[in-house]
Structure 1
Amino acid sequence: MTVAAVPRPYQNYVYAYPHKTSYRPLTPRPALADLWRNQARHALSLYLHIPFCEVRCGFCNLFTRVGAPDRLTGRYLDALDRQAHAVREALGERPASRFATAAFGGGTPTYLAAHELERLCDIAERVMGADLRAIPLSVEASPATATADRLAVLAARGTTRLSLGVQSFVDAEARAAVRPQHRTDVEAALGRIRDAGIPVLNIDLIYGIDGQTESSWRQSLDAALYWRPEEIYLYPLYVRPLTGLGRNIDPAVSEQDWDIQRLSRYREGRDRLLAEGYEQISMRMFRRIDAPPQGPDDYACQTDGMIGLGCGARSYTSTMHYSFDYAVSMREVRSIIDTYTTTTDFTHAVVGRAVDAEEARRRHLLQSLLQAQGLALAGYRLRFGSDPGRDFADQLGLLADRGWLEADADRLRLTPLGLAYSDAIGPEFFSPAVRSAMAAYELR
C-alpha cells in the first residue's frame, strides 16, 4: 500500500465539530422548547460569553470587539439576562435541569467591572440555576483585567479555574503578536491570581511567533513554570483571514519553514513540561500531575447538553448545534452585538446545523481521539451500535500506516507523533457536507 504524503501539521484547530462556519440561518427558526423537549438534562454544561476585550490581538479571529462605549456592557448584560430567562423557561421544570460545569469565556470576561461580574454570576445562579460553588467554574482573563477586585469576586463566587492569556513572557514577541503587554505586568497579574486562592491557574502560551527562537521559547516556559501553574496550554500560532497579522514573505517558502519551526517549538515545550511533572492531556493541554481535576477536558466540552448564553456562544443538543450570527471583522462584530443588545425575543434558535447520526459519530470520535487517552471502543459501540474501525476504516487505516495511531483491545490512541499532528488529523474526519459548507462560508 502506498501511503499518501504527510499533510501540513497546522490546518484546523478542532475545538468543536461541526465547525461554526458550517452553520447557516435556520428556516424556520425552531423553538428552543422543541429543541430541548426530549433532551437529557442531568449534567448540562453552561457557557456565558462576554465579547469584549481591551485590545484585539493580531492572531485573534474570535468573536469579540475592542472596548464597550456608552455603557454597552450594561446593555449586553441586560440582554444576557433576557436570554437566560427565555432559555430557562424553554428548558421547563420536568425533567429538572442540572449543570455539571460552567465557564465564562470571550472575549475577556474580566473586561467586566467587579460589580458586573457579580451580576454575571447572578444570571448563572439565580436565573439558570447553576450552583457555581458546587461545580467546576472556569473563567478566562487577561493580565490587564486580572485586578484584585475582580479576582476577589470570582474567588468568592466559586471560580475553580482561572485561565490567563499570556502567550509570551518576552516583550518583543508580545509586540510581534500585536499584544501590547509587558512581562512585569504579567508577573504582577499572576501574583494577584495566586493571592486570590483560585485552585487552578492555567497559563496560555503561543509558539510560532515571528522572531521566536528556541532560546526565547525556553524563556517563556521557564517564566510560566516559575508559578507552577496547574495547567499550561501550548498553542501554535495561526494567521487567519481578517485578523491583524499578515506575513510578507514568499508563502511557498514561509509556510514550510514555519511548520518546521512550530513543530520544533511544540516538541521542545512538550518535552520540557513532561520532564517538569506535567501530563499531556491533548496536543495543547498539559496538566500538573498533582493538580485537582476540573471536569471535562478540551474537546469533551462539546458533549451533548451545552447551554450557551451570549451572542458569541454556541449551544448543543443531541440533534442540533445552534448560536447567533458570526463574524470576525470589527464592523460586523459590532453590528451583531448591537442587534443582540436590542433583542427581546430569545425563544428560537437563529443560526445552526442539524446533527444526524453520522455527524454524531464523527463528533464523538474527534472529541475522543484528539485526547491523549484516546477513544474508548466500548463506549463508542454502546452509543452507536457500530464499530469505529468499520465506520472510519479509510481514515483510521491511513493514520495507522503513518504511524500516528495505536490500538489495543480497549482503545484507539494517537501516538506521540500523531498528537503532534492533531490539527491535520481532525480535518480528515470532517464529512463532505461539512467541508462543503465551510468552503462556501463567506468570511466577514
Structure 2
Amino acid sequence: MSAGQDGPRPYRNYVYAYPHKTAYRRFPDRPVLRELWAWERKDALSLYAHLPFCEVRCGFCNLFTRVGAPEGLIGRYLDALERQAVAVREALGDAEPVRFAGAAFGGGTPTFLTAGELERLCDITEKRMGVDLTAVPLSVETSPATATGDRLAVLADRGATRLSIGVQTFVEEEARAAVRPQRRADVEAALERIRAAGVPVLNIDLIYGIDGQTARSWRHSLDAALAWEPEELYLYPLYKRPLTPLGRRAAEGGAAWDAERLGRYREGRDHLLARGYEQRSMRMFRRAAAPPQGADDYACQTDGMIGLGCGARSYTTTHHYSFDYAVNMTEIRSIVDAYTRTADFGRAEIGFRLEPSGDEARRRHLLQSLLQAEGMETAGYRERFGADPGEDFGAELDRFAALGWLDAGAPAGLLRLSPEGLAHSDALGPELFSPAVRELMGGYEAK
C-alpha cells in the first residue's frame, strides 16, 4: 500500500508505550504509592533509571534531556534519585518477596556521568532498590563521546549485559544534516572501547530518512555497523518533531518523504535479514547467535515497571505515573531542578488511570503484543480479559487484514503482523488509540 492512497501514512507516531505520555494529566488526589503497589505482583519487576543529561542536543531529539550540567547538579540529581528509590522501595513493602527481572539506565545519556557517579548510580540501584545488577540483565545507553574506558569499566564490572550506542549514521555529512556533530573516527574508537569492555551485547542505533541520505549511503552505514558484528541493531525512521532543532527548521515531509523512508526501511530490513539477523519488531534486529538478553518470565503487558528519575514512568495495573514532561530546553531545566528539590516521593503526581480489565488495558495489551514480530497468542488474551481480541477490536483487525498488515498464514490462535504490517507499525499503533486518549493527546500543550 502506498502512503496517502489506500492506507494511513506509514510514519504517524512511534508507539513504545500506551497510553502516550502526552495523555498523562495531574492526579487531583495524588495517590499514595504504597496503596498503588499494595495488590500488585512484585515477583518480576523491571527497573528503569532515567538520567536526563547529554553533551549535545541532536536535531531530531525530542527526549526529556538537557545539554550539560552546572557544577553540583548531577550530585543533587543523584541525591534526589536516592530519596526516590528509598520511598519507592518502602512503598513496595515486605509482605511478599520483591524480585527484579531486569534493569536499564537510559536518558539522556547515562554515561554523561563520570565513572564515580556511575558507581553511585549502581549503588543506589542495588542498596536502595534491592536490584542485584550482577544477577539480572542490565542495559545501558551510551554515546560516542561519553563511552570512555573508565566509565565502560565500571558498567562492565557492575554487571552490564548490554550497551546501546546511538551512532545514527557513519556518514559525516549526514550527521551534520541531522544536527549531530560527530566524526566517524570518534565513533569507531568508541565502538572499539565498547568491544574491549567485554559486555556481551552491543546494540547500534541507526537512522534512515536523513536529508541527503541515499540507498548507497544507507548501505554504507549498515555495512559499517555490521563490521562490528553487533548482537543487535535498531533502525529508526527520522521524525522532525515540534520544538526540536529539525522541527523548528522544517515540518514533516509529505508522501514523497514517506515513500523515501519506507524504501530505506525495506533496504535495511532485507540487508540485515540476509546477514543472519532476526527481526523482533519494526525497529529491532537481533543476530540469531546472540546471547539471551532479558528474562523469559517478564512481560511488559502484565508485569510492573519501576521508574526512577524525573523522566521515567512507572506502571501498575491501575496507574501509569511519572513526573512532568517537556521538550523545550528551558522547561526541561526547570523540571529537573524541581525534581532535585523534591523531598516527598511517596505519591504519584502525573499519569493515567486504567481499569485492569477495561478498554484501555485491552488496547495496551493488544498493541504492545502485536507490534512484536512474534505476535500474540489469542489464548493468553482470552485468559486475561475473557474475550477474543476479535470480539473487542473486530473493526480494527478487519481493517488491518484488508490493508495486508496481518499474517494470513499464521498458525491458528496466533495473531501476527505480516512483513508489511511490521513496516507500518508506526501507522498501526496509533490506529489502536482510544478516542479518549486521542482527545487527551490532542489537548496536550507542547512545552
Match of 2:324 in 1: 325
- How many angstroms does 1:71 deviate by? 1.4
Matched ranges for 1:325-404 at <5 A:
325-356=324-355, 357-404=358-405
1:185-212 deviations in Å (ceiling 9; x for gaps): 0000000000000000000000000000
Conserved in 2, the CA contact under 8 Å of 1:137 and 1:160?
Answer: yes
> Is residue 414 of structure 2 the alignment partner of residue 411 of structure 1?
yes
Report the AA paired with residue 424 of structure 1.
A
CA–CA separation in structure 1 for the residues paired with 2:32 and 2:99: 21
- How many angstroms does 1:378 deviate by? 1.1
Match of 1:11 in 2: 12
Match of 2:162 in 1: 161
> Is residue 120 of structure 2 the alignment partner of residue 104 of structure 1?
no
CA–CA separation in structure 1 for the residues paired with 2:105 and 2:301: 15
Match of 2:245 in 1: 244
Match of 2:267 in 1: 268
Conserved in 2, the CA contact under 8 Å of 1:300 and 1:368?
Answer: no
- How many angstroms does 1:292 deviate by? 1.2
Secondary structure, in 3 states, of the residue corresponding to 2:416? strand
CA–CA separation in structure 2 for the residues paired with 1:119 and 1:250: 42
Secondary structure, in 3 states, of the residue corresponding to 1:143? coil
- How many angstroms does 1:146 deviate by? 0.3
CA–CA separation in structure 2 for the residues paired with 1:362 and 1:304: 16
Conserved in 2, the CA contact under 8 Å of 1:300 and 1:367?
Answer: no
CA–CA separation in structure 1 for the residues paired with 2:323 and 2:271: 40
Secondary structure, in 3 states, of the residue corresponding to 1:392? helix
Residues 74, 416 of structure 1: CA spacing in aligned structure 2 closer, same or farther, 3 A cutoff? Answer: same
CA–CA separation in structure 1 for the residues paired with 2:174 and 2:182: 10
Conserved in 2, the CA contact under 8 Å of 1:319 and 1:355?
Answer: yes
Secondary structure, in 3 states, of the residue corresponding to 2:102? strand
CA–CA separation in structure 2 for the residues paired with 1:324 and 1:381: 34
Conserved in 1, the CA contact under 8 Å of 2:44 and 2:303?
Answer: no
Match of 2:431 in 1: 428
1:349-378 deviations in Å (ceiling 9; x for gaps): 010000122111111101110011111111
Match of 1:315 in 2: 314
Residues 418, 207 of structure 1: CA spacing in aligned structure 2 closer, same or farther, 3 A cutoff? Answer: same
- Relative to the length of structure 1, the TM-score reads 0.97
CA–CA separation in structure 2 for the residues paired with 1:304 and 1:18: 16
Match of 2:61 in 1: 60
Match of 1:176 in 2: 177
Percent identity at matched positions? 71
Secondary structure, in 3 states, of the residue corresponding to 1:73? helix
CA–CA separation in structure 2 for the residues paired with 1:64 and 1:33: 29
Residues 101, 293 of structure 1: CA spacing in aligned structure 2 closer, same or farther, 3 A cutoff? Answer: same
Show structure 1 runs of 5+ residues with no match: none
Conserved in 2, the CA contact under 8 Å of 1:166 and 1:205?
Answer: yes
Match of 1:132 in 2: 133
CA–CA separation in structure 1 for the residues paired with 2:166 and 2:250: 28
Conserved in 1, the CA contact under 8 Å of 2:321 and 2:348?
Answer: yes
CA–CA separation in structure 2 for the residues paired with 1:132 and 1:33: 24
1:294-313 deviations in Å (ceiling 9; x for gaps): 1169x954643000000000
CA–CA separation in structure 1 for the residues paired with 2:403 and 2:327: 36
Report the AA paired with residue 405 of structure 2.
W
Report the AA paired with residue 367 of structure 1.
Q
Residues 80, 271 of structure 1: CA spacing in aligned structure 2 closer, same or farther, 3 A cutoff? Answer: same
CA–CA separation in structure 2 for the residues paired with 1:425 and 1:199: 33
CA–CA separation in structure 1 for the residues paired with 2:164 and 2:247: 27
Residues 296, 389 of structure 1: CA spacing in aligned structure 2 closer, same or farther, 3 A cutoff? Answer: farther
Match of 1:73 in 2: 74
> Is residue 18 of structure 2 the alignment partner of residue 22 of structure 1?
no
Report the AA paired with residue 421 of structure 1.
H
Report the AA paired with residue 42 of structure 1.
D
Matched ranges for 1:177-216 at <5 A:
177-216=178-217
Show structure 2 runs of 5+ residues with no match: none
Report the AA paired with residue 408 of structure 1.
P
- What's the RMSD between the two structures over aligned residues? 1.4
Alignment size in residue pairs: 438
> Is residue 261 of structure 2 the alignment partner of residue 258 of structure 1?
no
Moved over 6 A (4+): 247-251
> Is residue 44 of structure 2 the alignment partner of residue 43 of structure 1?
yes
Secondary structure, in 3 states, of the residue corresponding to 1:222? helix
Matched ranges for 1:432-443 at <5 A:
432-443=435-446
- How many angstroms does 1:256 deviate by? 1.2
